[in-house]
Amino acid sequence: MTSRRFPAAAIAVVVIFSLFVAVPRPAQAFLDKTRFVAHLGVAFFCFHHWVMKPYEEHLFDPGAPHRTATIVKAGIATLFAYHEVRVAEKIAQTSKDPLLQKMSGGVATLMGSLGSIGQRFKNGQFSPTDVQTLKSATSTLGTTAAAGGAPIKDIPVAVPGA
Q: Report pLDDT for 63.
A: 93
Mean pLDDT calculated for residue range 27-56 = 88
Q: How confident is the model at residue 5 (pLDDT cuts 50, 70, 90)?
A: low
- CA separation for the pair 65, 114 (Å, rounded): 25
Confidence tier at 23 by pLDDT (50, 70, 90): very low
Q: What angle do CA 8, 12, 14 make, to 5 degrees?
A: 115
Read off the pLDDT of each residue in 136-154 and give the average, rounded to a whole number.
Answer: 90
Task: Give dist(CA 120, CA 12) in Å, integer.
Answer: 62
Average pLDDT over residues 129-154: 90
Instruction: Give me the count of residues in the chain.
Output: 162
Burial (CB < 10 A; 0-12, 13-18, 19+), residue 149, is: exposed
Residue 160 located in a structural domain: no
Q: Is residue 117 part of a domain?
A: yes
Domain membership of residue 142 as a residue range: 28-147
- 101-139, pLDDT tens digit by residue? 888 888 988 888 888 888 888 888 888 898 899 899 899
- Count of domains observed in the chain: 1
5 inside domain: no
